[in-house]
């Protein structure tokens, strides 16, 4: 099966999206009061966060599923799952830890993409 977008590019996009999500979640509590001054109050809406999480999920699953047949290593998928579990835990189970768990989940997802990218690059067979 031919894939439209190479896994390497998806991993780079996934790392960028996950890091942006983590930075957004970590910085938002500090800049929340200043957002309306710059016309950026829309960044505080929950739908922005859900879009970022959804985008990271779609990119992550697609990227890892297209590169897994090449390197056959489950570690990126395990790390990706841990990242999304951290985000879900921060949102729905331990809301008092939300400010820590969600950014950590974003960085963990970026790490999964990075490891997947390294595995894909080191793979010699196609």
The 3-class secondary structure across 53-75, one letter per residue, is HHHHHHHHHHHHHHHHHHHCCCH
Place of tokens 């950014």: 103
Between CA 35 and CA 11, with CA 15 as vertex, the angle to 5 degrees is 145
The tokens for 111 are: 């790490």
3 has a pLDDT exceeding 90? no
Task: Give this prediction's pTM.
Answer: 0.70
Q: Are 66 and 7 in contact (CB under 8 A)?
A: yes
| pLDDT band per the 50, 70, 90 thresholds, residue 1 | very low
Q: What is the model's pLDDT at position 74?
A: 94
Q: Report the interhelical angle of 98-122 vs 7-31 (nearest 10°).
A: 160
pLDDT tens digits along 25-51: 677 666 666 666 666 666 566 777 788
Q: Which residue has the higher pLDDT, 98 or 4?
A: 98
Per DSSP, helices labelled H in 72-126 are 75-88, 98-122
98 has a pLDDT exceeding 80? yes
């Amino acid at each position: 099966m031919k894939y439209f977008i190479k896994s390497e590019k998806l991993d780079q996009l996934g790392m960028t999206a996950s890091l942006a999500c983590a930075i957004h979640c970590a910085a938002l509590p500090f800049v929340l009061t200043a957002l309306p001054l710059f016309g950026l109050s829309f960044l505080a809406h929950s739908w922005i966060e859900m879009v970022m999480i959804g985008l990271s999920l779609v990119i992550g699953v697609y990227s890892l599923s297209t590169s897994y047949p090449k390197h056959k290593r489950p570690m990126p998928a395990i790390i990706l799952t841990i990242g999304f579990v951290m985000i879900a835990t921060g949102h729905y189970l331990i809301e008092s830890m939300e400010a820590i768990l969600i950014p950590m989940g974003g960085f963990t997802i970026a790490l999964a993409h990075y490891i997947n990218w390294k595995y894909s690059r080191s793979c010699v067979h196609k």
